[in-house]
Chains A and B, each alone.
Chain A
Amino acid sequence: MLPKIARIQLMSSHPQVYDPCDDSFALVDALLADRSNLIKHRPSICMEIGCGSGYVITSLSLLLGKEYSGGAYYIATDINPHAVTVTRETLESHGCHAEVVNTDIALGLEKRLARSVDVIVVNPPYVPTPEEEVGCSGIAAAWAGGENGRRVIDRILPVADGLLSDKGWLYLVTLAANNPLELCLEMRKKGYASRIILQRSTEEESLHIIKFWRDSDVLMDANERVTVNKTGNGMASESAAFSPFSIWRRGNQNV
């Protein structure tokens, strides 16, 4: 029997809320593909930042389901007040329990949930747009990403870093235009390994779903590089450390 995910027929909707689309489906497909790892991972707290219609958080809750006895606390946030209502309705119609908070990324939750969240999923506003379109509270908040589509992603990543537990995993939807390689290098400096776990090209977009996790080897490399730079021997090791292939790590077998 196939694992359950959210059903379109049960979804709630609203004109000011982003309906599930290729990017939402791609993220859920990536989570489905990683399902056995996720179950072995036994997350206690799972969070979605930017829940929109509720398609992803509902699917995550269903696909992890009652499979493992630990159960999990699911929490979803969105800046759009209509989105949080739609998400709540979507969760209810699927019989799922999750908490929904109307907030900017994780404002209000960051202190108490610091280093506590085991899984974070994000389908951010990634579309390159003029800067003025970023941060409006209506439906444009779902896609407007400013220059290179990175404005909101760049705000989300440090927050995610603060929330993720030591074993925490972050799944992030990006476009080729967001420069995923650069994102991975920036996260590497914070001690995260990464892997593109799903790539999908539609007519309009080239989607890369990236999975990030903390890796002590990566953290050590990052710290060593800082030391080497200080002694002035930076150049040669900089280029080796930033070699595109070194950041795709297997590390822990479960990822």
Chain B
Amino acid sequence: MRLLTHNMLSSNIKGVTNGFPLLIEAVKVVEKEVDFNEDFLKNMFVKVEWKALVEASRTLGYTELPESAEASMLDSDEFLRKFHHALLELHLEDGALVCPETGRKFPVSKGIPNMLLHEDEV
């Protein structure tokens, strides 16, 4: 599971007011190279919640992202490369995503998060 996906996931448990971002418990992290695509990064930048991405990348062991970011930084190749790496090349293979309000764990196994809710959580 890439951090781009983590940035798009939230906890939908009944009663939760703000289920984003999910906390990460990392058991196995893998780095996988992906082709660099500037247009893609610029498109995604608008959608990404930056703070959540920074937090998540730190949990996975990557500390290069600046605390805050703005659109003008997209002109810098160095910034783009760091953004690319954090967003697309860090994979949580095994671990869990944790609801920030209830502590309920959504397992991640072989890179696939399980967001299915139990009957009493819907």
Interface residues of A (CB under 8 A from B): 44, 69-73, 75, 79, 81, 84-85, 88, 97, 99-104, 107-113, 116
Contacts and interface: CB of A to CB of B under 8 A. Distances in A.
Contacts of B115: 101-103, 107-109
Interface stretch (B5-13, B23-31, B54-62, B67-75): B5-13
Nearest to B49: A112
B114 A99 contact: no
A60 B35 CA distance: 18
Contact of B112 (A79, A85, A113): A85
Contact of B44 (A44, A102, A110): A44
Contacts of B4: 73, 99
Main secondary structure of the interface of B (DSSP, over half): loop
Contacts of A44: 40, 43-44
B111 interface: yes
A71 B34 CA distance: 12
Contact of B11 (A88, A100, A108): A108
B11 to A, nearest CB: 7
A180 B40 CA distance: 35
A203 B40 CA distance: 43
Contacts, number: 78
Contacts of A100: 111-112
A69 B39 contact: yes
A109 B9 contact: yes
B6 to A, nearest CB: 10
Contacts of A79: 116
A104 B7 CA distance: 19
Contacts of A71: 35, 37, 39-40
B113 interface: yes
